[in-house]
Chains A and B, each alone.
Chain A
Amino acid sequence: MAEWLDLVNDPQVLASSKYLAAGLAMGLAAIGPGVGEGYAAGRAAAGISRQPAQAGNLLRNMLIGQAIAETSGILGLVVAIVMVTRGDIANWAVGAALIGAGLSVGFSAIGPGVGAGLVAGKALDSISRTPESSGKVTMTMLIGQALSQNAAIFGFLVAMLLMFGRGADIRVDDWSALLPALGRYVGAGVCMGLGALGPAIGIGYAGAMAVEGIGRNIEHSGLLQRTMFVGVAVSESTAIYALVVALLLLMGMG
């Protein structure tokens, strides 16, 4: 079995892990924001065709919404850049942690992109339908999008901890410690990454329906916002569970 240890500690194998991780991080992270921003742009075009006088307002809100939906993609890009420009990988534990980090930030960027795009699209619909509600709709759109981005931020946090944190104590010379630690780091990444996917899309849907409701019924915007908040807080639950489990895996407990 010693040759396995030599294999995984080979510098070329170790270097491949960081490139693979960077590819995963950026490749996966590009999916969500693309879909979401495209949807927002489409709704902006539909809104302009319905209400050409609001073109400037719609364009501005579309850009703001797209910029926030972009956040998760930016986080994936940052992680990828930091990995590519990283120096030598010390041992296979660091390599496994890098792959986990790439999976974490990559998968967790898919949901928030789509969710934030949903909110932005519906907000543009509302503005084009009832331009006088534009101020409140923009505020609620920002809040809904920011809440949808929570999941991407959890993924980014776990990725940062995997890349730079101290992590659990593992003895890199021990063959029997290899697979558990490998599973632990990659598992933490997959856990947070996939765990952020669903809640973000759900929160995006909640925010989208809230902005649509505010466009239709602006007197009750306060009640709508508070209801959205309660719903979002409960929808966030599974992302928080995923974060807790990922942190438990990182800390070496269980």
Chain B
Amino acid sequence: MDTVAPPLPYEFPFNILPGLLSPTFRYDTLFMSIVVTALLALLAFACTRRLKQVPGRGQALLELLVSAFRDLVYSTMGPKDGRRYLPLIGTIFLYVWVSNMIGLVPTGEIFHKLTGDTNLYVHLGSHTLTWVGNMEPTRDVNTPWGLGIMVFFIMHVAAIMRKGPARYFDEYFTPHFGRFTWPLQNGVWRTAACLVLAGIWTGLAALVARLAGATGPRFWGPVSGVGAVALVWCLARLSHEPRRVGVPNILMFPLNVIGKGAEILSMSFRLFGNIFGGAVIIALLGTMTNQMALPILLQMFMGIFVGTIQAFVFAMLSLTYITVEIAEDEVEGAIEEGSAEPVAEAAG
């Protein structure tokens, strides 16, 4: 019995940020996740035996679900992409929804009847595993976090595959005040010529400043100023299209990068916070009162209502983020159209 040891220490799973290097592991989350998966597989299996033209009850239920999500996904993504991502969105919703609902199964009551405590403690050698009663997989921070990471990878890999690395990378500089794709539009030689010319001017300025005996800030100030002006001037003069000076939008880059991370962080923690919060409130108010009605009413609101809404919000946010990532820039396209018109008119 003592040869079975958990691979990682079981502890309260909140070492999220400082302890990213020490992930936590909860067996009850894992077990309930497997139960959820088994339930979904069983449901799918049972309802799709002997598919009929006039559906029976199970088949009708699944058809209702699939058609509702199909309308939603197709109207957001279009039929081609929608067909590809519909299984993902539907599965995310079902998985999160059943994970939230499985907290209504009164395992805590069963444990209380068996062992007198709402948690079940399993002793394996020197380790003790705790199985929390009424456990939902989404109550552990790992489950929503894992789903969020999955959606994150899907979003960005799909965007890179769809748009190519150059355009994907360029989007991190939006909103553009000019275009950073100056090198892409004007080719390697013009870019090189531009940099060489600007470099020559900067070198001349550096020489003059050094001859004048400037050091430190008095040296770097004017030199960098001359370098920046020279670069912008060269970009303007050597540009293939007139009046399209590229202002590299460096400042927006870290903001966009952190923004992408914040999207997924917020999505995961919204789900976690709602479900964990509901569990804490129900636990506390359950201990404070002897009435039977209050915990049941709370379970109805927190468990069913909030659980369903948060599952739906999670699925829909995944859908929206994926759509925005793989969409062709309509907003940027509109801006392009707006600014290209007067140039085209002026040229011809």
Contact = CB atoms under 8 A, between A and B. Distances in A.
Given A81-B284, A139-B72, A143-B317, A154 B266 contact: yes
Interface string B1-29: 00000000000101111110000000000
Interface residues of A, dominant DSSP: helix
Interface residues of B, dominant DSSP: helix
Contacts of A166: 15, 18-19
A175 interface: no
Given A74-B274, A143-B316, A146-B313, A81 B281 contact: yes
B273 A75 contact: yes
B263 to A, nearest CB: 8
B331 interface: yes
Interface residues of B, number: 42
Nearest to B321: A229
A68 B280 CA distance: 18
Contacts of A240: 255, 258-259, 262
Interface in B249-303: 255-256, 258-259, 262, 265-266, 269-270, 273-274, 276-278, 280-281, 284
Interface stretch (B86-94, B233-241, B304-312): B304-312
Nearest to B332: A230
Contacts of B317: 143, 146
A247 B306 contact: no
A71 interface: yes
Interface residues of A, number: 45
A74 B269 CA distance: 13
A61 to B, nearest CB: 12
A225 to B, nearest CB: 8
B175 interface: yes
A237 interface: yes
Interface string A133-146: 00010010011001
A243 interface: yes
Interface stretch (A3-11, A13-21, A155-163): A155-163
B1 to A, nearest CB: 32
A180 interface: no
Interface of A: 64, 67-68, 71, 74-75, 77-78, 81-82, 85, 136, 139, 142-143, 146, 149-150, 153-154, 156-157, 160-161, 164-167, 222-223, 225-227, 229-230, 233-234, 236-237, 240, 243-244, 247, 250-251
Q: Which 3 A-B pairs have the closest CB atoms?
A: A78-B277, A164-B14, A150-B266
Interface of B: 12, 14-19, 72, 75-76, 174-175, 255-256, 258-259, 262, 265-266, 269-270, 273-274, 276-278, 280-281, 284, 305-306, 309, 312-313, 316-317, 320, 324, 327, 330-331, 334
16 contacts: A71-B270, A78-B276, A82-B280, A85-B284, A142-B312, A150-B262, A154-B262, A156-B269, A157-B265, A160-B14, A165-B16, A226-B331, A227-B331, A230-B175, A233-B259, A244-B258
